[in-house]
């Protein structure tokens, strides 16, 4: 039987070895392919893990950076509030101690120009009216932005024998001036220069500047009348005859009814500078675009009840 097996092997050994070689070669190829695929898969897995780690690190760094910025912003804001509170408290201390020159020295140039052009006016219109008794002050958080603080003056109960009267509320604006921090009082904020004008052959209106208060604005305008007739800037019977228009077409009426008629009359071939108050509360989100007029071009005809022309006139701000 063994001889038969050797005989069959010798007769078929070529084919048998061919089959064995093919099987071995196929196995080697299959293992190589599997190994290559496994390496590719492992490489992709490592790349994916690295990408996830990288993104996580970037996100972590970004969050850390944002948190650091937010923290720094909060620290800066808190420091500003504390410094502003100290500044206002120092001003009140000067006022309580009747150190009027020191208190006056803390006021902004704009505030002095508009409200307190000299120290005596400041003494009579602010010190004597508010600090007739020793006061304490409550400084609230910044409102409206831009360094504006609501403050409440109250009697110092310990020094007034427990007596109290109505609280006095003011809005104080703190800004930089000549490398120092200064205060604007009595709800006045600052002066803003404008310097825009509109003109034709008959009329020229220039808006010079505006005084900004918490509750209203006062515009300084210069009117030049190039005609041979007296003109009236607006009929006072309607406060909308002079108004402001913002970028959303919202109108703000004037207080021309508080002015004497003579103030609003401009002589023939004459020029006049006047201040007009508008019902515009402080709001940084509302940008004024135009000042609008209804000008009566013949004042004499108007007061006689005769026919007259009304000129609609606008100045872009």
Integer Cα distance of 250 and 270 in angstroms = 32
Length of the chain: 317
CB-based contact 148:172 (threshold 8 Å): yes
Paired with 170 in beta bridges are: 151
* Strands annotated E in 111-216: 135-143, 148-155, 168-177, 180-184, 188-199, 203-213
Within the chain, which residues score under 70 in pLDDT?
1-18, 20-22, 24-77, 145, 157-166
Query: What's the pLDDT tens digit per position in 41-87?
Result: 566 555 654 554 455 454 444 544 454 344 444 444 677 788 889 99
The pLDDT of residue 284: 78
Q: What are the percentages of helix, strand and coil residues in the chain, rounded to 5? A: 40, 30, 25
Paired with 204 in beta bridges are: 199, 224
DSSP 127: I
Q: Dihedral of the CA atoms 117, 118, 124, 125 (nearest 10)? A: 20
Using only C-alpha atoms, the chain has a radius of gyration, in whole angstroms, of 42
The pLDDT of residue 35: 63
- Which residue reads 């109250």 in tokens? 154
Tokens of 201: 């052959």
The pLDDT of residue 3: 55
Instruction: Find, among 241, 235, 243, 233, the residue nearest to 279 by Cα.
Output: 243
- Which residue reads 């004042």 in tokens? 299
- Residue 45: helix, strand or coil by DSSP? helix
The pLDDT of residue 140: 86
Query: What's the pLDDT tens digit per position in 139-168?
Result: 987 877 678 999 999 987 655 555 555 689
């Amino acid at each position: 039987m063994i001889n038969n097996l050797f005989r069959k092997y010798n007769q078929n050994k070529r084919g048998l070895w061919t089959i064995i070689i093919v099987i071995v070669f196929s196995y080697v190829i299959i293992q190589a392919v599997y190994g290559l695929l496994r390496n590719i898969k492992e490489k992709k897995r490592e790349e994916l893990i690295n990408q996830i780690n990288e993104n996580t690190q970037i996100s972590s760094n970004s969050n850390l950076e944002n948190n650091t910025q937010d923290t720094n912003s909060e620290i800066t804001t808190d420091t500003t509030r504390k410094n502003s509170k100290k500044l206002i408290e120092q001003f009140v201390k000067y006022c309580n101690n009747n150190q009027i020159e020191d208190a006056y020295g803390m006021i902004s140039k704009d505030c002095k120009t508009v409200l307190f052009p000299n120290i005596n006016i400041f003494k009579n219109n602010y010190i004597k009216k508010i600090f007739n008794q020793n006061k304490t002050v409550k400084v609230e958080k910044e409102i409206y932005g831009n360094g504006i603080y609501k403050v409440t003056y109250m009697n110092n109960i310990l020094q007034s024998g427990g007596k109290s009267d109505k609280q006095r509320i003011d809005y104080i604006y703190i800004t930089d001036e000549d490398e120092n921090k200064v205060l604007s009082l009595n709800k006045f904020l600052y002066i803003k220069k404008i310097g825009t004008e509109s003109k034709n052959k008959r009329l020229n209106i220039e808006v010079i500047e505006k005084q900004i208060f918490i509750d209203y604005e006062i515009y300084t305008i210069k009117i030049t009348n190039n005609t041979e007739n007296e003109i009236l800037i607006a009929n006072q019977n309607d406060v909308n005859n002079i108004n402001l228009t913002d970028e959303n077409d919202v109108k703000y009426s004037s207080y021309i009814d508080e002015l004497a008629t003579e103030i609003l009359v401009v002589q023939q071939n004459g020029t006049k500078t006047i201040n007009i108050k508008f019902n515009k509360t402080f709001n940084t989100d509302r940008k004024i675009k135009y000042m609008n007029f209804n000008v009566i071009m013949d004042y004499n005809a108007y007061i006689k009840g005769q026919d007259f022309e009304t000129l609609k006139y606008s100045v872009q701000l």
